[in-house]
Chain A
Amino acid sequence: MIVAKQKPIEEIIEETKGYKKILIAGCNECVTVCEAGGKREVAVLASALRMYFMNQGKDVKIDEVTLERQCDHEYLEEIRNTIDQYDAVISLACGVGVQFLAEKYMQMPILPGVDTCFMGVTEERGVWTERCQGCGQCILARTGGICPVSRCAKRLLNGPCGGSTKGNCEINKDLVCGWQLIIDRLKELDRLEDYEKLAPIKDWSTERAGGPRKVIREDVQL
């Protein structure tokens, strides 16, 4: 999932100053699972903002809606007939949703309510960790199913570096060394000899470095 975290309420207050009618729009997908922007977080933020503005003696209308997704046209269309009642929307979706909403409703200020962090997993309740950086050319088959691009602080393809200590990364002793994990897994798979295969220089053009990316599937296009 895409993992996000709630923005501090003070920051949201600062960004919404001056608006009189605000819609808070949640998303039922990733941000619901990581407890940053689902229906519950929408309700809490709405309640907090209502109280804040009331306490300031300001008359601000705050409404709530949670869409199935904010990254598909059809769900964003659901608010087409009501969005004009507002003078700003706070989207609690990831950065993808915030932008798609903004693209669709050109005249409406769209404000982000979360900080989008990474693609990752729920390691345990309240702990999410990164697994993928979407480099566009997966090498997991060669690294024992563990990604050195997302899990090594230096993204070394031929790691580990000399800073790997007792299974942990040199930048933080609470951070697992991705290459230690790769080596452990290669051993489990009885494939440790693969370690000595030199990973070739990577083509980063399919990654962020190659500019905004696009996937086209002509076979499914209508």
Chain B
Amino acid sequence: MRLQYPSNIKIVSIPCTGKVDLIHLLSSFEKGADGVYVLGCLERECRYEKGNLRARKRVEQAQKILESIGIGGERVQMYNLSSSEAPRFVRFANEMTEKIKEMGPNPIKIAMQKKAA
């Protein structure tokens, strides 16, 4: 299966989504990411029991903060899939890319560019 997914996505691999902290999500936006999504294992199938559930809570926290500071909460999302579901991986990648294209670039990135200019 040589499936294609959008090239704008940069993958950061981690041992478990439970490792993702709220500050990691926020820092990505502070550094100019247009969107971030966390791909975790299926719920109730976490090897560490609650890693992906913790990740979801943190994604929700990040959504709330991004929304209240005017960046847009929708820019960060949580998805779940199993490691054998390549087509689903591609679907999420496309879905997220579409969503972010609709929302436009991260306003922080634009502000940084303005400042630099």
Among B9-17, B38-46, B91-99, B106-114, the stretch that binds chain A is B106-114
Query: B3 in the interface, Cβ–Cβ < 8 Å?
Result: no
| Beta-carbon contact of A47 and B26 below 8 Å | yes
Chain B's nearest CB lies how many Å from the CB of A210? 41
Identify which of residues 32-81 in chain A touch chain B, using a CB-to-CB cut-off of 8 Å.
40, 43-44, 47-52, 54-55, 57, 59
Query: B68 in the interface, Cβ–Cβ < 8 Å?
Result: yes
Identify which of residues 13-67 in chain B touch chain A, using a CB-to-CB cut-off of 8 Å.
21-23, 26-27, 29-30, 65
Cα(A48)–Cα(B23), bound, Å: 9
Chain B's nearest CB lies how many Å from the CB of A221? 43
Cα(A51)–Cα(B115), bound, Å: 13
How many chain B residues touch the partner (CB < 8 A)? 18
Identify which of residues 1-60 in chain A touch chain B, using a CB-to-CB cut-off of 8 Å.
8-10, 13, 40, 43-44, 47-52, 54-55, 57, 59
A50 contact set on B, CB distance < 8 A: 30
26 contacts between A and B (CB under 8 A): A8-B68, A9-B68, A9-B69, A10-B68, A13-B69, A40-B23, A43-B23, A44-B23, A44-B26, A47-B26, A47-B27, A48-B68, A49-B69, A50-B30, A51-B26, A51-B29, A51-B30, A52-B70, A54-B108, A54-B111, A55-B71, A55-B107, A55-B108, A55-B111, A57-B111, A59-B115
**Which A residues contact B (CB, under 8 angstroms)?**
8-10, 13, 40, 43-44, 47-52, 54-55, 57, 59
